[in-house]
Amino acid sequence: MFKKDPIQIVTFRSYGTANHLYAKGRSIQDEDIDLNQTGLFNLLRNSWKRFITDKVTNAKLTLTLPDNRTISTVTDSQGYFLIDETIENLLPLTDEEGWMPFSISFTENKSGRKIEQDNKFKGEILIPKNTAKYGVISDIDDTILHTGLTSRLKWAVIKNTFFKSADKRIPLKGAADFYQKLHDGKSGNDCNPIFYVSHSPWNLYNYLEVFLEVNNFHKGPILLRDFVNPFAKKYKAEKPQKQTEIINILKTYPKLPFILIGDSGQHDPDIYQEITESYPGRILAIYLRDVNRRNKMQRVKNLYKDYTRVPVLLVDDTEAAINHAKDQGFI
């Protein structure tokens, strides 16, 4: 009960440019979560551990680039760190897909606890290649992974999060193939970047990372939100987290147009339309997957009725999206 767990740094796949580093992660205790475990008890235990993670606050960290340049940072009151700095000449440090690796370590260890992985934790950010013709920003929840967020009482969310391991979750049919085609682009070698955004908390980062990997979704930054305490006082944010993330991506790559992919069940239709209006010429198309709620889909149809600023496709199946993308010259 009073055992002191080792400490670690969890890095989140993020993105940047040739002269800007945007690295994110969290310093936490190692709760020994095994994503490969099965069985009801193990699934419940691991799910519980994801949400009771003990953070390591005010920890001094040092990020090291492949050319041995270093950047210092400090974790906040929730254990998170964010490095958002201008740093020149990052492009030569990337691989053929645009990924730049880095390592990050605890600068000091005042707690005296064991530090996992010999105090060298790997991370990476995506710097899109110059060959990219566009980027893709995709929702995760009910767009490529059935979560149950649209169910009335959210029981499906509870069942899918707590009672299913990441490798047993079933992706929406054909989605991985569609995303790979978008990444390859019309030439087959465009190397268009794909960004995954979700309303899920960072506690589920590794879970979603495993899901995307085992189901062959093309690798991309995964952008989630802070876990919200249901008992904490709520303050109305200026913009929803997902919208803020998308806007930040658009501002990071001002010359790159984007395709937005979401679903008809939650807030994607409204957010995507507002972004399209606010950033004219930046959005090439919007794909919205039908989540089989008749009233939701009718609202979306009304929202986009006679909408002509960009092509909008309400998707019943992935094949229709692929055919539309071919007609538009995206793939």
Give the CATH number for residue 106: 2.60.40
Give residue 316's domain range.
135-328
Please provide residue 73's backbone torsions phi and psi, each rounded to the nearest 5 degrees. Answer: -155, 170
Domain limit, last residue, from 85, 106, 126: 126
**Is there a domain that residue 1 lies in?**
no
Same domain, 200 and 77: no
Asked if the model's pLDDT at residue 75 lies above 60, the reply is: yes
Domain limit, last residue, from 69, 92, 126: 126
**Is there a domain that residue 161 lies in?**
yes
Taking a C-beta distance cutoff of 8 angstroms, is the pair 108, 135 a contact?
Answer: no
Tens-digit pLDDT profile for residues 84-135: 999 999 999 999 999 999 999 999 987 788 999 999 999 999 999 999 999 9
Count of domains in the chain?
2
CA dist list (Å): 155 to 148, 151, 159, 272 = 7, 7, 6, 27
E strand intervals along the chain: 7-12, 14-15, 20-29, 60-64, 70-74, 80-86, 99-106, 121-126, 135-139, 194-201, 222-225, 258-263, 283-289, 312-315
Tens-digit pLDDT profile for residues 134-171: 999 999 987 787 654 444 434 344 344 433 444 444 56
**Is there a domain that residue 312 lies in?**
yes
Residue with the two structure tokens 């538009």: 328
Same domain, 100 and 158: no
Same domain, 190 and 283: yes
**Is there a domain that residue 2 lies in?**
no
Give the CATH number for residue 155: 3.40.50.1000
Same domain, 159 and 294: yes
- Tokens at 196, concatenated: 């995954």
**Is there a domain that residue 202 lies in?**
yes
**Is there a domain that residue 166 lies in?**
yes
Same domain, 205 and 295: yes
Same domain, 153 and 115: no
Cα 52 from Cα 43, distance rounded (Å):
15
- Does the model's pTM come out above 0.75? yes
Same domain, 50 and 139: no
Domain limit, last residue, from 95, 126, 157: 126
Q: What one-character DSSP code corresponds to residue 68?
A: S
Same domain, 149 and 290: yes
Q: How many CB atoms lie within 10 A of CB 228?
A: 11
Mean pLDDT, rounded, for 183-196? 98
